[in-house]
Amino acid sequence: MEFSTGFGWTRLPVLAAAFILGSVLTVSAQIIPPTAAAADDAAEAADAADVNDPDVLKDIDVDKLDWAQLAIDAGTLNDIIAAKKRAQAAAKDGIDWSTNANANGSSAVKVKQSVSSFWDARIGADMTVAKEPTTMSELLAEKAANGGNLPQSSGSAWAAATAPGAGSVWDKTAVEGRIDPGSEQSKIGAALTKSVPLSGDMSLTLQNGYSVNQQGTTALPGIAGRTIRNYETDQSAKVEITDTGTSIIAGQTLSTTDDKWLRNVGAEQKLFDNVTVSGSVGETSQGTINKSLTAGFKKSW
């Protein structure tokens, strides 16, 4: 038994092409072109969006803009980029740098780095970097300003840690050591602090400090160098009034170089943000009274 179509295999490609063409025409007919009304609605929506957008130049006078701020040469721009890279690298390593210019042209450079966050252990160095004179006039001016001598660079290294106290006896223990190779001087000390809340907005802070200072002497021909140690202890009490920003401090100091306690009393007043005024009156080993009044401004960024 045989079965055959009336079209035959030779007509199959023609039928497939006709079927595809018909499908395309059917889909095209189902797509409705946008009317004129729909186009007008879309244009009105776009205009409304433009009206509601905030005007960033509303309160800015374009004629008064300082376009000179953009006049940065390539060298300055490279210095700024390099400084930012150094700061980012230092921050990544946990190193904190700070620099302040002194009146005599030198720079005070401080660097510190955290070693351990468990006891807030940190190390650092405080340096004074003298400026090298470049001309003869600068050389003579610096000698005249420093008594005929050029300012010398110096520095000291230190390490400090803050640890918890011992139960209810004291709250915090602070230990610090410092060494200055240039002057052959070193110091190690510890401070025990206890804070006691008072009535209202007042608090009392008691502190006992102990330190050992060591000073070396330079050997001379026929005379050997020696080391001098000085032991010192101090006690202080500080009352702080939070609402008024007032602090009252009273303390006393005793060292092996003195034969009696040297007492002092002082007060500090915070005027406004970052500005304080402090004054103190204290005894000296010569029996005279030392008075001081200072004002300070401190800002960190």
The alpha helices in 196-290, defined as continuous H runs, are none
User: How does pLDDT run across 13-47, given as a tens digit for each residue?
Assistant: 444 445 444 544 444 444 444 455 544 555 555 55
Residues 67-106: b if buried by 16+ CB within 10 A, e if exposed: eeeeeeeeeeeeeeeeeeeeeeeeeeeeeeeeeeeeeebb
| pTM for the structure as a whole | 0.56
How is the chain split among helix, strand and coil, in percent rounded to 5? 25, 45, 30
Q: Which residues pair with 185 in a beta bridge?
A: 180, 215
HSE, CB side, 13 Å, CA atoms: give it for residue 298.
6
In the predicted model, what is the mean pLDDT of the chain? Answer: 76
* Collapsed DSSP state (helix, strand, coil) of residue 132: coil
- Which residue in this structure is represented by tokens 């007008």? 40
Percent of the chain's residues with pLDDT above 90: 31
- Say whether pLDDT at 176 is over 90: yes
For 2, 34, 64, the CA distances from 6, given in Å and listed in that order, are: 13, 45, 89
41: tokens are 């609605």
Q: Cβ–Cβ contacts within 10 Å for residue 35, how many?
A: 9
Tell me if 189 sits within 8 A of 174, measured CB to CB. Answer: no
Interatomic CA distance for residues 250 and 268, integer angstroms: 12
Domain residues of the chain, as ranges? Answer: 165-218+225-301
Interatomic CA distance for residues 146 and 105, integer angstroms: 11
Count of residues for the chain? 301
User: How does pLDDT run across 86-133, given as a tens digit for each residue?
Assistant: 656 555 556 888 888 877 677 889 999 988 877 889 999 999 888 777
Element (H, E) at 38: helix 36-52
What value does the mean pLDDT take over residues 138-167?
A: 81
Residue 289: phi and psi, rounded to 5, are -105, 130
Q: Which residues pair with 192 in a beta bridge?
A: 173, 208
What local confidence, expressed as pLDDT, does residue 93 receive?
55
- Which amino acid would we find at residue 272? F
